[in-house]
């Protein structure tokens, strides 16, 4: 009977051991799978490598190499032990070695010091943070949507969990700002959390001049100190443009107040990098075409779109404004939606159309297009809106003549080629288009405009220059109306417009000489 006691004790110990193993297994699964934490010894994850293991970082980009041992690993009292199953991988070591070389160079130029309180933005694996700690910048942390402790905490780059003016040094590497869907918000958060006189260093892919200046425009209150092109450490980003920015202002309240529009009334000058794009554009048609309805339409095949010549990634919003839109299918649906190269960006579309015949169609498209049922004009006032069409034509997109506005309240007398007045005159509301534009978009937005306003372009374009609103437009597709040769009546010019082709050519030339990328629309 007594021989059963050792057996009972043995069973008890076995069950206790199995229970202990179960507890450790559950804990391991919870830490790694549920919380997304690092697998550390303190969290019962005994699959890590020993604390005293040393390994070598060598052969990485930047020409630097480093021996990393137990002394280089943050202690458990400071940040906990590292996930060596990840941190000893070849790619991880190569990246950490590359960033170590970058940071040592920044220290030599005085942009970074061992005393700098530092932040690495959007660092999923923490190589940048490790490199900072390795060279002696111990007060460093990274941020990413999923934590990877002890180097990286959880947080969104466009809404960082830090107070204003917290860091002396902020780094964004890997070209991650290139891919951000909210680059302005990320840049604003970098500036907000950076101390006055602090330094922000950002790596982006080697870019064209347009995208480079768009990038700089994201950083309010920062001056560009240096820029250099360096070789990357892997094939995904073979070339890197490094920019060092210095914060030159102080924020007195949390966050950066970003104005929705440009409320100033001063004139602007189009920057030189936009003028460079104009020089690459298709040439203007110097000779008046005998069949403009054919020549101008064919010329659209030669158009060099801005978004095919430059990267538009570093813009806050993407906006298309169709002035004189007519029906949805006239140009928005048939041309812009299908043909304009958008670089996978989602555009906010505005249709400005005074002819109420087309308003019902836009009501059905209100999720895709914002309709402004007014006439674009130089000020807010009531206008006479003339619609010219042949008798018997149905009021449709094809049969209805183009609408033309006239200031004042007097009755318009318009006759057709047969001496009859076939028009309709409505009273509609005109609005200050330049003022609306300045209150709707900013220089940080990418704005494309098509304008087909039946001769009113000779009033609207000068107004855009006068107010400075012209500088908010990146690209214009303009139809200029003049007394062109008639399709119906060979040898006869249109009596509807007084301007000549020469005056239209002067308008296009003035826009281009001012640095505005304008194309001849038909």
Q: Give residue-wise pLDDT tens across range 235-265.
A: 777 888 999 999 987 654 433 333 334 444 4
Q: Which residue has the tokens 């000020």?
A: 379
Which residues of the chain are modeled with pLDDT < 50? 1, 31-82, 252-265, 389-401, 409-421
| 3-class state of residue 369 by DSSP | strand
The DSSP H or E segment spanning 129 is helix 127-134
Separation CA 112–CA 121 (nearest Å): 16
What confidence score (pLDDT) does residue 26 get? 63
All residues at 6 or more sequence positions from 389 whose CB lies less than 8 Å from its CB, including other chains: 395, 399, 400, 401, 422, 423, 424
All residues at 6 or more sequence positions from 474 whose CB lies less than 8 Å from its CB, including other chains: 274, 306, 446, 447, 448, 517
What confidence score (pLDDT) does residue 32 get? 47
In the numeric block, which tokens belong to residue 275? Answer: 């003028």
What confidence score (pLDDT) does residue 169 get? 97
Q: State percent of the chain over pLDDT 70.
A: 75
Please provide the distance, in angstroms rounded to a whole number, between the alpha carbons at the two ends of the chain.
Answer: 107
Q: Give residue-wise pLDDT tens across range 279-338.
A: 999 999 999 888 877 888 888 888 999 999 999 999 999 999 999 999 999 999 999 999
What confidence score (pLDDT) does residue 408 get? 53
Domains of the chain (ranges, CATH numbers)? 91-247 (3.40.50.150), 273-390+402-408+422-520 (3.40.50.720)
| Phi-psi sector, 63: left (phi>0), alpha (psi -120 to 50), beta | left
What confidence score (pLDDT) does residue 243 get? 94
pTM: predicted TM-score of the whole model, two decimal places: 0.75
What confidence score (pLDDT) does residue 87 get? 64
What confidence score (pLDDT) does residue 3 get? 53
What confidence score (pLDDT) does residue 27 get? 64
What confidence score (pLDDT) does residue 75 get? 39
What confidence score (pLDDT) does residue 60 get? 38
| 3-class state of residue 375 by DSSP | strand
What confidence score (pLDDT) does residue 490 get? 74
């Amino acid at each position: 009977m007594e021989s059963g006691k050792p057996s009972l004790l043995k069973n008890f110990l076995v069950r206790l051991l199995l229970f202990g193993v179960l507890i450790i297994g559950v804990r391991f699964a919870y830490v790694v799978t549920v919380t997304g934490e690092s697998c550390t010894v303190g969290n019962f994850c005994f699959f890590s490598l020993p604390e005293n293991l040393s390994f070598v970082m060598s052969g990485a980009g930047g020409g630097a190499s480093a021996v990393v041992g137990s002394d280089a690993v943050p202690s458990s009292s400071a940040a906990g032990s590292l996930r060596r199953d990840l941190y000893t991988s070849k790619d991880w070591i190569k990246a950490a070695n590359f960033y170590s070389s970058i940071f040592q160079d920044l220290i030599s130029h005085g942009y970074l010091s061992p005393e700098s309180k530092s932040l690495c933005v959007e660092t999923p694996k923490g190589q940048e943070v490790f490199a900072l700690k390795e060279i002696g910048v111990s007060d460093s942390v990274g941020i990413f949507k999923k934590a990877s402790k002890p180097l990286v905490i959880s947080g969104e780059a466009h809404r960082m969990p830090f107070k204003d003016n917290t860091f002396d040094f902020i780094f964004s590497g890997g070209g991650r700002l290139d891919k951000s869907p909210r680059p302005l918000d990320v840049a604003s958060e970098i500036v907000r959390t950076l101390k006055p006189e602090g330094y922000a260093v950002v790596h982006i892919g080697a870019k064209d001049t347009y995208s480079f200046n768009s990038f700089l425009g994201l950083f309010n209150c920062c001056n560009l100190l240096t820029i250099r092109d360096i070789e990357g450490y892997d094939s995904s980003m073979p070339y890197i443009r490094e920019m060092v920015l210095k914060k030159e202002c102080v924020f007195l309240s949390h966050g950066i107040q970003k104005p929705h529009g440009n409320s100033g009334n001063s004139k602007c000058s189009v920057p030189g990098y936009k003028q460079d794009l104009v020089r690459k554009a298709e040439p203007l048609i110097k000779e008046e075409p005998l069949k403009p309805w054919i020549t101008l339409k064919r010329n659209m095949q030669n158009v060099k779109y801005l978004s095919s010549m430059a990267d538009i990634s570093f813009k806050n919003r993407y906006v298309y404004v169709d002035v004189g839109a007519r029906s949805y299918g006239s140009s928005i649906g048939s041309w812009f939606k299908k043909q304009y190269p958008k670089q996978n960006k989602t555009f906010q579309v505005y249709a400005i159309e005074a002819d109420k015949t087309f308003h019902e169609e836009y009501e059905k498209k209100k999720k895709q297009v914002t309709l402004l049922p007014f006439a674009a004009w130089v000020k807010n006032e009531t206008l006479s809106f003339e619609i010219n069409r042949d008798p018997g034509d149905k009021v449709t997109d094809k049969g209805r003549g183009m609408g033309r506005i006239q200031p004042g309240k007097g009755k318009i007398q318009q006759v057709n080629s047969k001496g009859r007045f076939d028009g309709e005159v409505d009273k509609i509301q005109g609005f200050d288009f330049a003022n609306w534009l300045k209150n709707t978009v900013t220089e940080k937005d990418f704005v494309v405009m098509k304008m087909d306003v039946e001769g009113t372009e000779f009033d609207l374009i000068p107004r855009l220059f006068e107010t400075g609103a012209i500088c908010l437009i990146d690209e214009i597709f303009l139809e200029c109306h003049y007394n062109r040769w008639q399709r119906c009546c060979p040898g006869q010019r249109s009596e509807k417009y007084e301007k000549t082709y020469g005056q239209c050519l002067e308008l296009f030339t003035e826009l281009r000489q001012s640095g505005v990328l304008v194309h001849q629309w038909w």
